[in-house]
Amino acid sequence: MTSSPSFESVADLLVREGLLLTALELHAELSERGRAVRALGEFFRDSDNFDRSERRSIRNNTWYHTKLQRS
């Protein structure tokens, strides 16, 4: 029997791949059910993650990956 991936690992994949709308939808759905991924919520609350002038790659977002590992 194959184990299911955790919500944390799914959230990590979505953010790494830049699928932010899908990650936001996952965050909203889990939050409504009381099962939020803390690092994902913190990621979306931090406006620095969306500063277009920096043009940094979401794949290199060490802030998110550090937070996810601490959860």
Classify residue 1: in a domain, yes or no: no
Domain count, the chain: 1
Classify residue 41: in a domain, yes or no: yes
Classify residue 2: in a domain, yes or no: no
Query: Which sign does the torsion angle of CA 69, 39, 52, 16 carry?
Result: positive
Q: Provide the residue range defining the domain that includes 61.
A: 7-70
Classify residue 25: in a domain, yes or no: yes
Q: How far is the first Cα of the chain from the last one, in angstroms, to the nearest whole number?
A: 26
**pLDDT (0 to 100) of residue 3:** 76
- Under a CB-based contact definition with an 8 Å cutoff, are residues 67 and 39 in contact? yes
User: What would the pLDDT profile of 12-53 be if each residue is shown by its tens digit?
Assistant: 999 988 899 999 999 999 999 999 898 899 989 988 887 665
Classify residue 53: in a domain, yes or no: yes
Classify residue 16: in a domain, yes or no: yes
